């Protein structure tokens, strides 16, 4: 995507946010933020636990061989990677190369790549399962109209397909499948020919990706449970935010708000820094479930402040990622 297109998308997102702030009223928004500022302080340790669970799940997906990745280092890499992903203007993939760089001295390059790909697939799987779970309270809380029912059924069907796909990648790998797809697509065959000399390396990476699922399925599902626990804590962020803004303590509303706002953000991941998608998603979701939509904008700003704090922590730790003292055996 060209710089011009990214700039246009950034301006569009910023304009949407400005319009929502203007409609809500800057004074009213600041008043809510003043009374709810303590929420940000409560969210910082919550996400420390989430990142620790992410690091544990990642370590559980590393294939056998080489030196084990120390948990503390895995946690540092995880915090840095998520910080870079948040700060990446497009698609939030900037942190994955850093994961590989940070893990390679312990795991070796291809084993590190395999573990990072496996974790990214598992992380996505946990997100999708969380979205599926949120469809149940959504069917109760959202307006009971044919349009809403059709949307929920359609979203549910798509999510089930994605779950099947993500599980199949843990079983069959991803790199070789992508190479085969490139071979079949005429416009991309030139790219496939350039990648052919690396086919053996791709096959080895796939072996590392599928290793845990095929040889130790209990460990794989254990990692999924750990990652799902982290996902539940992630979704509870909005339970704390809703409570902090005086909007009650309903965990079901919080689940719907968190899941659908995350779904909208992922659908519009091409927007730089998620600008406009997060704010707009929460604005409309609050209205759909019968709450003041302006509170959705305030909720998005509280979540943004938490993100900024952790981005700062991650960027502060970035110098620790590439200088470990031990090497892969």
**Tens of pLDDT along 125-158?**
998 998 898 888 888 888 888 888 898 899 899 9
Which pLDDT value is given to residue 79? 93
Which residue from 299, 306, 308 is spatially nearest to 281, judged by alpha carbons?
299
- Work out the pLDDT band at 325, boundaries 50, 70, 90: very low
Reported as a pLDDT band with limits 50, 70 and 90, residue 329 is very low
Q: In the chain, which residue ranges form alpha helices assigned H by DSSP?
A: 3-24, 26-35, 38-60, 71-87, 95-107, 109-141, 146-172, 175-184, 189-195, 199-215, 217-235, 237-244, 251-267, 277-288, 293-317
SS3 (DSSP) at 323: coil
- What is the length of the chain? 329
Instruction: Find out whether 95 and 83 touch, Cβ atoms under 8 Å.
Output: yes
pLDDT score for 38: 83
Least confident piece of the model among 1-15, 111-125, 230-244: 1-15
pLDDT band at 14 (very low <50, low <70, confident <90, very high): low
pLDDT exceeds 80 at position 54: yes
Q: Is the dihedral of CA 277, 251, 137, 221 positive or negative?
A: positive
Band the pLDDT of 273: cuts 50, 70, 90. Answer: low
For the chain, give every domain's residue range. Answer: 43-246+266-320
Question: Where does the pLDDT of residue 1 fall: very low under 50, low under 70, confident under 90, or very high at 90 and above?
Answer: very low
- What's the pLDDT at 32? 61
| pLDDT (average), residues 294-306 | 83
272 in Cβ contact with 6 (< 8 Å): yes
Listed residue (245, 233, 250, 324) closest to 289, CA to CA:
250
* pLDDT per position as a tens digit, 36-48: 778 888 899 999 9
Q: d(Cα 57, Cα 136) in Å, to the nearest integer?
A: 27
CA distance 187 to 26: 50
Q: Taking 70 as the threshold, does the pLDDT of residue 28 lie above it?
A: no
Averaged confidence pLDDT in the chain: 79
Q: Shortest CA distance to 83 belongs to which of 326, 324, 319?
A: 319
pLDDT (tens digit, 9 = 90+) per residue, 171-196?
777 776 776 766 776 666 777 677 67
Distance CA 182, CA 13 (A): 33
Confidence of residue 57 (pLDDT cuts 50, 70, 90): very high
90-118 pLDDT, tens per residue?
555 667 888 888 888 888 888 888 888 88
pLDDT score at 235: 86
């Amino acid at each position: 995507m060209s710089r011009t297109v990214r700039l246009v998308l950034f301006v569009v997102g910023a304009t949407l946010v400005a319009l929502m702030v203007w409609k809500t009223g800057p004074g009213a928004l600041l008043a809510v933020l003043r009374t709810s500022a303590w929420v940000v302080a409560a969210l910082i340790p919550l996400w420390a636990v989430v990142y620790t669970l992410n690091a544990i799940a990642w370590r559980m997906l590393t294939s056998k061989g080489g030196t084990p990745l120390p948990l503390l280092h895995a946690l540092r890499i995880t915090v840095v990677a998520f910080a870079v992903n948040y700060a990446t203007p497009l698609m939030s993939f900037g942190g994955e190369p850093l994961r590989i760089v940070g893990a390679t001295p312990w795991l070796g390059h291809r084993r590190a790549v395999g573990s990072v790909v496996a974790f990214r697939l598992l992380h996505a799987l946990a997100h999708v399962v969380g979205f599926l779970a949120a469809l149940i309270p959504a069917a109760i809380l959202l307006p009971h109209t044919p349009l809403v029912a059709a949307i929920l059924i359609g979203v549910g069907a798509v999510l089930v397909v994605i779950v099947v796909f993500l599980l199949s990648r843990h079983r069959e790998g991803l790199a070789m499948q992508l190479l085969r797809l490139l071979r079949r697509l005429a416009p991309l065959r030139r790219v496939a020919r350039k990648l052919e000399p690396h086919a053996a390396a791709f096959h080895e990476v796939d072996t590392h990706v599928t290793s845990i699922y095929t040889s130790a399925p209990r460990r794989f599902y254990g990692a999924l449970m750990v990652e799902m626990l982290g996902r539940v804590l992630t979704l509870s962020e909005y339970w704390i935010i809703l409570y902090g803004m005086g909007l009650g303590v309903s965990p079901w509303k919080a689940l719907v708000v968190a899941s659908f706002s995350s779904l909208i953000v992922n659908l519009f991941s091409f927007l730089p820094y998620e600008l406009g998608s997060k704010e707009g998603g929460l604005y409309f979701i609050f209205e759909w479930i019968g709450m003041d939509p302006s509170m959705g904008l305030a909720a998005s700003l509280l979540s943004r402040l938490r993100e900024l704090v952790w981005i700062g922590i991650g960027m502060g730790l970035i110098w620790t990622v590439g200088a470990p003292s031990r090497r892969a055996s």
